[in-house]
Chains A and B, each alone.
Chain A
Amino acid sequence: MGLIKFIKSLEPLWWSLFGLGGAIAAFLFPAHILIQGVLIPAGILPKDMLQYENFAGLLSSPIVRIYFLALIVFPLYHAAHRIRMTLEDLRIGWLNAILPLLCYGGATAISISAVVVILRLP
């Protein structure tokens, strides 16, 4: 179980990512959810801004790509840390031993796929 011990020893890193991801989710997610997920489907805002050409055009900027990468990656680590801590509080014996690997490993795997997807954007 050397790997789990090593992951646990990186606690300050997980805490920093937790804090940064929590702040990003708190400050930026509500506007994205409201605009993309609610106001446009409800017909209150025009869907033009989400059309392929417009969205691809927006994502052609490196700054916007980095913005979206940060928007995905850090909140994932925030969730990973919180889910780990909460499940540890629930004291599910067999799960606790592998929780750090499962949570941070999952966040890292999805983050790597986010980098790959962003590099493949048109």
Chain B
Amino acid sequence: MNTPNTSPSPEVTRTYRRPIPNTWWLKQRSTILFMIREWSSVFVALYAICLLGQLWALSEGADRYNALLARSLSGGSLVLHLVIGAFVLYHMVTWFKISGRIFGSGPLSPGAVTAINYVVWIAASIGIFYWIF
């Protein structure tokens, strides 16, 4: 055994390396929420790929695009988008909260920065509706 304040030799460090099971995150609510936040990125990627698929169909011509459009108007597609949407909203909420923590200082409290993010988000969403669509 090493006495306190004595740094262990590399060999001892290797010997006493504590194994951590890869289910460590299931033990606390905060780490479960952390994992959900992290895995929301899979749904972010999935939606980016959906957008790419839509553009690919468009590049292939009217027939291919109309076939994809018919499928994207189905109930299954609606459910898929609701699931993706739920995870993307969770990403958004956590992203705005973290922005507040990172950038909030001085007269701008973390809460104020998060609130500004929401205002910009609402403005951007309205902008997308009128500009793109």
Contacting pair A34 B22 (CB below 8 A): no
Contacting pair A79 B41 (CB below 8 A): yes
Instruction: Give the B interface residue count (CB, 8 A).
Output: 51
A18 to chain B, nearest CB (A): 9
Which A4-42 residues have a C-beta within 8 angstroms of B?
Answer: 21-23, 25-38, 40-42
B75 to chain A, nearest CB (A): 8
Contacting pair A38 B72 (CB below 8 A): no
Closest-by-CB residue of A relative to B56 is A117
Contacting pair B58 A56 (CB below 8 A): yes
Contacting pair A49 B133 (CB below 8 A): yes
Which range holds the interface residue count of chain A?
35 or more
Known: A40-B73, A122-B58. Contact between A55 and B45, CB under 8 A?
no
Interface centre among B44, B61, B88, by most chain A C-beta atoms within 10 angstroms, is B44
Contacting pair A33 B38 (CB below 8 A): no
A120: chain B residues within 8 A (beta carbon)? 59
State in angstroms the CA–CA spacing of A85 and B121 once bound together: 27
> B58: which of A45, A52, A110 is its contact (CB, 8 Å)?
A52
Q: Is A50 an interface residue (CB 8 A)?
A: yes
A80: chain B residues within 8 A (beta carbon)? 45
B132: chain A residues within 8 A (beta carbon)? 58, 64, 67
A64 to chain B, nearest CB (A): 7
State in angstroms the CA–CA spacing of A89 and B37 once bound together: 14
Known: A25-B91, A83-B42, A117-B52. Contact between A55 and B22, CB under 8 A?
no
B83 to chain A, nearest CB (A): 10
B12: chain A residues within 8 A (beta carbon)? none
Contacting pair B55 A114 (CB below 8 A): yes
Which B6-40 residues have a C-beta within 8 angstroms of A?
Answer: 20, 22, 25, 35, 38-39
A binding-site residues for B, Cβ under 8 Å: 21-23, 25-38, 40-42, 45, 47, 49-52, 55-56, 58-59, 64, 67-68, 71-73, 75-76, 78-80, 82-83, 85-86, 89-92, 110, 113-114, 117-118, 120-122
23 contacts between A and B (CB under 8 A): A25-B95, A30-B85, A31-B125, A31-B129, A32-B51, A33-B85, A33-B88, A37-B50, A37-B72, A38-B85, A41-B73, A52-B58, A52-B62, A59-B55, A76-B45, A76-B48, A79-B45, A85-B38, A90-B22, A110-B48, A110-B52, A120-B59, A121-B55
